[in-house]
Structure 1
Amino acid sequence: MTAEKKTLYDYLTEDNTVRYEAIDSENTVVDELTSQTLREQSLRLAAALRKVAQPGDRVIIPPLEGLDFERAFFATIGAGMIAVPLPKMPQVASNKLRRVESVLGDCDAKVIISSDEEASLVMEKTGIVNVDPALARADDAEEPMEPVERDPDEIVLLQYTSGSTGDPKGVEISQANLIINQQEMGARCEVKPTTDIVCWLPSYHDMGLCSMVILPLLTGARVVKIPTGDFIRRPLLWLEAMSGREDVWSAAPDFAYRNCLQALQRASSFSVDLSGWRFAGNASEPVRESTMRNFEKAMAPFGFPSTAFHPGYGLAESTVCVSVNPPDTGRTVLYCDPEKLAQGSVVEVDPSSDKAPIVGCGRPIPDSDVVIMDPDKDVILGENQVGELCVAGRSNARGYWKKPELSQQTFGTRVNGRSYLRTGDIAFIREGEIFICSRKKDLIIFGGENYFPSDVEGDVSERVPELSRAVIAAFQESNGDVIVAFESPADVEEEEELERLCREVIRAASRSYPGKLHAVALRRGLIPRTTSGKVQRSRCRDMLADGSITPSCMWPERK
C-alpha cells in the first residue's frame, strides 16, 4: 500500500514501544502511550463520540491535559468525524468568545471533547455536546470500535487560521496531506526511531499538532510533550527537557528562542547538556539572524551545536512544511541592497555594509514545487526576482471550509497544467533556497516601489537595544504615512524616555524606508498577534485608528 493510500490508523500498530510522553513542570513523566494503547483508547473514545454525533460532523478539541489531545484527535478520525483544534475556551464574558463563536458557527460543530469547566459553560451557551476525554481510559469505557473506513483524501482536520492579515478560515486538510507532508519533512530532517521530539507548541497550532501527533506516528520517534503554559511561565524547562538526550529534534517560532535568552539572563544558576540537540527548527514567524546568533553564543557553553539551527517555511494551507534544509547544513544569510529589492531584484552587498540580513528558509521538500510568481499575474518569475511565493504539490489543502470564492483565489491558480497555492508571501529563490521578504498585503509602497515592513522592524530591533526582543509592527496608513508601533519595556514609563525611544525608532526605521514615519509606543501585549505569534499589522493599524488601543506616546505627534 502506497503512503498516499494509507490512513493514519494504518500506522497505529501493535507496537508496545512508548511513542508519546507528557511531562510536567518538574520534568516528570505524567502520561505515556504506546501505539497499541493509543489505538485502543482512542477507539474507545470514538465509540463514545458515535453515540452523540455522526461521521462527517465537526469535533472541537481544545488543549487537554497530558496526552488527552492525542487520544481525542485519533478518536475523532476513528469515528469518521472532522477534528477542529482550538485554543483553550475563553470565559463566557471574554471578548475572545466572539472569535470562538464565529469559528463554531462557521464549522457548525456538534461536539467538544473537554473536561474543562469553562468549556462546559461555553458549550452550554452554544448548545454543543460535551464528551469527556477520560472516557478513553475509564474502567467502564466503551468497547473499542473499528475505525470508520474513509478515503485518505477526505477531510479529517479543519485547521483554523486567522493569518497575519485576515479573518479566521478553516483549512481543509486530509489524511493524505498529513501523511505525505510529515513523511517528507521527517525524511528531510532525518527524524528516526531513535529521535526524541521535544515540543511545547500548542495543539491548535499547525506545527504543534504535526510535531506532537503526526510526526512521531510516521517516523517511529518519541515525542516529549511539555505543557504550553509551563513553557510560557518558565522557558528554560524546554531546554531542561532536552538535556542529555542523544538525538533531539525540536522546532519553535523565533520568539521562543528569545524568551529562553531572557530567562537565562534572569537565572541565578543553570546547567544542561544540549549537545544532542541535532535539529533546532525556527519557523512560523519571521526568522531573525540576530536571535539565532545570540542563542548560539549563549548556549555554546552548554554544548549547543553550531550547525543545529535550521530555519524553515510553511503554512497551514500546505499542511505545515514547505521548505527546510537537512541536518548539518549551515544556514544561508544574505545581505541585499534594499533599493534593488524594492524594485523586485536581488543584488547582494558586502556584509560589512550594515544592511539588514535575510535568512534562507531552506529548500522545498521533494513533493513541493515552489515558484515565484508576479503578484498580480499568473506568470512565473526567475531566480533572484522578487514576487509571490506559490506552491504546488500533494501537501496542499483543497480549500477553505465553505468559502469557494476565497478557495479559488488562493488555491486555483493554474500554470503549465499545475494548480498552485498563492501563499500571499513575498519572496525570492536563490540557488534553490527560499528567502521570505514580507506578506503581500503588508507591503509598504512609496514612490511606486515596494518596501518590506520586516526590514523596517528588523532595523529597529537591531539598532534600538531596549527593543531587541520587543514586539514591533510597521504598516502604512491610507494617507501614505508609515507607523512603526512597538511595545515599550515595562521599566520605561516616563514621557521623556518614551519620546526618546520613539526618536530612536524613527532613526533606525529610516534606514529601510525613505518616506514619512511615525513611531508609536504601546504597553506590552497590545500589538495583536495570531495564535501562532505572528504580528497582525493591518489589525494593529485598524485598532489604532478606531481607538481600540491607545498609544503611550507618538512621535512626531499628529498635526
Structure 2
Amino acid sequence: MSAERLTLFEYLNEYNPVRYEAVDADNTVVDSMTAPELREQSLRLAAALREVAEPGDRVVIPPLSGLDFERAFFACVAAGMIAVPLPKMPSVASNKLRRVESILADCDARVIVSPPDEVALVAERTGVRALDPAVARQPAGDDGPGPAEPVARDPHDIVLLQYTSGSTGDPKGVEISQANLVINQREMGSRCDVTASTDIVAWLPSYHDMGLCSMVIQPVVTGARVVKIHTTDFIRRPLLWLEAISGRGEVWSAAPDFAYRTCLQALERAESFDADLSGWRTAGNASEPVRESTMVAFEKAMAPYGFRSTAFRPGYGLAESTVCVAVNAPVQARTVLSVDLAQLAQGVVVPVEPASGRAPLVGCGRPIDDSDVVILALDDAVVLGEDRVGELAVAGRSNARGYWKKPEVSEATFGTRIDGRSYLRTGDIAFLHDGEVFICDRLKDLIIAGGENYFPSDLEADVTARVAELDGTTVAVFQDAGGDVVFAFEAASSASAGDLEALIKSVVRAAAQTYPGRLRGVALRRGLIPKTTSGKVQRTRCRDLLATGSITPLHTWPERG
C-alpha cells in the first residue's frame, strides 16, 4: 500500500459514497454531510485552527453536537495538528477536572474545539484557547477563514493521541498515525464485510477508540453510511439504538457487553416497543469481557423483532493497536468453550463438557490479516503454543508508536523483540485455541494462590451465573493486601442486614466452588464500584478505595478476624 493511500484526506473526494448522519433523541436526522462536504467544512475549520496554533500542536476535541466532532477531527488532520479526544469538559471543580487538567498539561494542548461557554472553566484554569466548531458550518463567503489545502504530512506522523482510561497514575496518550487508522480500519472493514451498502449505527463516545474508529474512520475508508446517536441520548433511552437500526437492510453496529444488557433492562420496562432488526447483520461485542449469557438473553428477547442468532460477533482490541486486533468474519459462528478451571489455573487449556452454573469462555475471533498474535510466557518473551495461557502480544502495522513523552513505558510495552520483529505486550492474559483469541483477564488483576493463577473474570462470571440475585449487578473480584480474595458487588441500600448477609453467604459459597482459598464478600451501595470512562470495572481501584476507607461497605462476611 503506497504512502498516498494511507492519508485520510485522500478518501474525502466526490467518488466516496460515504454519508454521515446524526440523529436526535427522536431518531430524526439533525445533521448530515457527504465526503466533499466534510472535506470543505473541515478545511474551513482547519484554516481557523492555523490562525491560533501550529502544525504538530495538540487540539482537544470533547463530544460535540451533531457531526461537529467529525468536522473537528478532520480539521486537525488537515491542519497538520494532533487530535486529542476527551470526555465532556467539567464545569465545576472535581476529580474529573483534575484529570482533564493533568491530560492537558501532559500533551501541552493549545486549543479546545468547543463552544467557548461550554469549556469556560477549563480554559480559564489551563490557558488553553477555545475555538467554536461553528466556524466549519459557515456558508461560503461569510466572514472568517476560507478553506485551504491540507498541510502535507507523512502518514506515519502522529495524528491522534488516544488517552487510555486507566484508574490511577499518570495519563498515557497512545501515539496513533493516519497510517495506523487507515490500515486497521480497512482490515476490520474487510474482515467484517463492511461496504458502501452498509449502515453503521453508533452511539459510542467519540473519545473512546472504538467509538472514534466506528463513527469517524470506518465510514470514510469503506464508503459506508454512519448513523450517529449522541451517547447521552443512548444512556437516557437505550432502545433508541435499536430504533435507529430498525428497518435498515444491512447494519454493522458494535458496543460493549453492558450495552446489550442495558437494552434488555429497558425492554422489560418499556410499555411498548416495535422494531425490525432483521437487517442487523453484525452485532459487535467488544471493549469489556464478553458474556455468553448476555448474548443468549439478547438473542432470545430480540428474536421476535427479527434479530438473527448469527449476528453476534465478539472481538478484541486495544488503543495501543489502534482498536481492532481480532474478530471473526460474518460467516463464522462464535465459539463458546468450557474449560477445566483447575487446569486453567496452571496455565493449560483443557476443554470439557459444559457444566450447569459454569460460565463458558467466548472466543474473540481470529486476528485480522495484518496483526500477528502470539502468547508469551508471563515472565519472559518465550512464545507459547496453542492452549497455553500467557500474555497476549501483537505485531503489525496497526500498532501505535508508543506513549506520548513516556519513552521508558513505551519501550516496556512496545519493545519486545521476537525474531527481529517488535511486539506490543498488551497486559491481557489469554490463549489461542484453533487460531482464535480467548481473553482470560488483565495481568494486573491476576490472583495468585498456591503458585496457581486464578482469573477474576472467571470468578465473577461463575458466581453471577450461580447466584440469580446478581444478574445485571456490577461486581468486582480482587485480592487484598492480606491475601483474601474479595467478591464485591453492588446492592440496594434499602436491603435489610439479614437479606444482605444471606446474599453475601450465597456469593461466598458459590465462589468457593471455583476458588479454594480464603474468600470474603462485600456488599456496596449501587454506583460505588468504580469504572473507567468506557465502562470497565476498576478492580484495583475498588480494592484501594476499600482499603483506605474511601468507600464504606453495606455489609461484609465473614468479618476479618
Q: TM-score range by the shorter chain?
A: over 0.9
Which position in structure 2 is the counterpart of 1:515?
Answer: 517
Deviations 1:387-425 (A, max 9, x none): 000000000001000000000000000011110000000
Counterpart residue number, 1:187: 190
In the alignment, is the contact (CA less than 8 A) between 2:18 and 2:219 conserved in 1? no
Single out whichever of 348-357 and 520-529 deviates more from structure 2. 348-357
Q: Whole-Å Cα distance in 2 between the matches of residues 3 and 364 of structure 1?
A: 24
Shift of 1:549: 1.3
Contact 1:528 1:539 in 2 (8 A): yes
Alignment of 1:497 onto 2:503: no
C-alpha distance in structure 2 between counterparts of 1:404 and 1:429, whole Å: 30
What is the rounded CA distance, in whole Å, between the counterparts of 2:170 and 2:309 in structure 1?
A: 39
Q: Deviations over 1:354-379 (max 9, x none)?
A: 43200000000000000000011010
* Alignment match, 2:441: 438
**Who is 1:147 aligned against?**
150
Cα distance in 1 for partners of 2:13, 2:406 equals 37
Q: Please give the residue correspondences for 1:307-386 in structure 2 after superposition, counting only pairs within 5 Å.
A: 307-352=310-355, 354-386=357-389
Q: Which residue matches 2:76?
A: 76
Letter in 1 for 2:508: I
How many residues get paired?
Answer: 558
Q: CA deviation at 1:508?
A: 1.8
Q: Which moved more, 1:537-546 or 1:174-183?
A: 537-546
Contact 2:415 2:423 in 1 (8 A): yes
The residue type equivalent to 1:27 in the other structure is N
- In the alignment, the residues of structure 1 paired with residue 58 and residue 430 of structure 2 have an alpha-carbon distance, to the nearest angstrom, of 35
Looking at structure 2, the residues matched to 527 and 116 of structure 1 have their Cα atoms a distance apart, in angstroms, of 34
Unaligned runs of 5+ in 1: none
Question: Relative to 1, partners in 2 of residues 1:3 and 1:534: Cα closer, same or farther, differing over 3 Å?
Answer: farther
Could you say which residue in structure 1 is the equivalent of 2:558?
556
Partner of 1:11: 11
Question: How far apart, in 1, do the equivalents of 2:49 and 2:90 lie?
Answer: 23
Q: Do the aligned partners of residues 65 and 153 (structure 1) sit closer, same or farther apart at CA in structure 2, a change above 3 Å counting? A: same
Equivalent of 2:415 in 391, 412, 415: 412
Answer yes or no: is the 8 Å Cα contact 1:164–1:534 preserved in 2.
Answer: no
- Structure 1 residues 212 and 558: alpha-carbon distance in aligned structure 2, compared to 1, 3 A threshold: same
SS at match of 1:322: strand
How many Å separate the matches in 2 of 1:25 and 1:18?
Answer: 23
Deviation per CA, 1:58-81: give whole Å up to 9, x if none. Answer: 000000000000000000111110
Partner of 1:20: 20
Equivalent position of 2:29 in the other structure: 29
Shift of 1:6: 2.6
- The whole-number CA distance in structure 2 between the counterparts of 1:468 and 1:481 is 24
Q: Is 1:468 matched up with 2:471?
A: yes
Query: Cα deviations across residues 233-284 of structure 1 (Å, max 9, x unaligned)?
Result: 1110000000000000000000000000000000111110000000000000
1:168-212 deviations in whole A, cap 9, x for unaligned? 210000000000000000000000101000000000000000000
Deviation at 1:534, TM superposition (A): 1.0
Task: Name the CA distance, whole Å, in 2 between partners of 1:90 and 1:544.
Answer: 26
Which residue type is aligned with residue 509 of structure 1? A
Query: Which residue of structure 2 aligns with residue 236 of structure 1?
Result: 239
> Equivalents in 2 of 1:78, 1:511: separation in Å?
57
1:117 is displaced (CA, Å) by: 2.3
Rounded to whole Å, the distance in 1 between the matches of 2:468 and 2:90 is 36
Contact 1:336 1:355 in 2 (8 A): no
Which piece of structure 1 moves more, 538-547 or 405-414? Answer: 538-547
1:271 has 2:253 as partner: no
Q: Normalized against structure 2, the TM-score is what? A: 0.97
Q: Deviations over 1:456-502 (max 9, x none)?
A: 11012212222111111100012111111111146x52222222221
Structure 2 counterpart of 1:502, which letter?
A: I
User: Matched residues in 2 for 1:101 and 1:548: separation?
Assistant: 23
Identify the residue that residue 429 of structure 1 maps to in structure 2: 432
CA contact (8 A) 2:106 2:171 kept: no
Q: In 2 relative to 1, CA 461–353 (structure 1 residues): closer, same or farther, beyond 3 Å? A: closer
Give 1:39's aligned residue: 39
| 1:94 maps onto 2:94 in alignment | yes
- Checking the alignment, whether the CA contact within 8 Å between 1:165 and 1:538 is kept in structure 2 is no
**1:381–1:387 contact (8 Å) kept in structure 2:** yes
Q: What corresponds to 1:54 in structure 2?
A: 54
Q: Which amino acid in the other structure matches residue 208 of structure 2?
A: H
Return the alpha-carbon distance in structure 1 between the equivalents of residues 203 and 388 of structure 2: 37
Q: Which amino acid aligns with 1:19?
A: R
Separation (CA, whole Å) in 1 of partners of 2:4 and 2:375: 27
* RMSD of aligned Cα (Å): 1.3
Task: Find the aligned partners of 2:485 and 2:272 in 1 and give their Cα distance.
Answer: 43
Per-residue CA deviation, residues 57-112 of structure 1 (Å, 9 max, x unaligned), is 00000000000000000001111100000000112322211111111111010100
Secondary structure of the corresponding residue to residue 177 of structure 1? helix
Shift of 1:5: 4.7
Quick one: distance in 1 between partners of 2:472 and 2:533?
Answer: 19
Preserved CA contact (<8 Å) 2:78 2:151: yes
1:540 to 536, 539, 542: 542
Q: Deviations over 1:211-237 (max 9, x none)?
A: 000000000000000010010111100
With 350-359 and 203-212 compared, the bigger mean Cα shift is at 350-359
- Check 1:417–1:194 CA distance in 2 against 1; reply closer, same or farther (3 A cut): same
Residue 288 of structure 2, aligned match among 285, 290, 309: 285
**Runs of 4+ deviating beyond 6 Å:** none
Distance 1:136 1:36, change over 3 A: same
Match of 2:533 in 1: 531
Query: Counterpart amino acid of 1:511?
Result: Q
Q: Which amino acid aligns with 1:522?
A: L
> Does the 8 Å contact 1:164/1:537 carry over to 2?
no
Q: CA deviation at 1:14?
A: 2.1
> 2:79 touches 2:150 (CA, 8 Å); kept in 1?
yes
The corresponding residue for 1:163 is 166
Alignment equivalent of 1:506, drawn from 487, 490, 508? 508
Superposition pairs of residues 215-230 of structure 1, within 5 angstroms: 215-230=218-233
Report if aligned partners of 2:357, 2:466 keep a CA contact under 8 Å in 1: no
**Structure 2: gaps spanning 5 or more residues:** none
Deviation at 1:164, TM superposition (A): 6.0
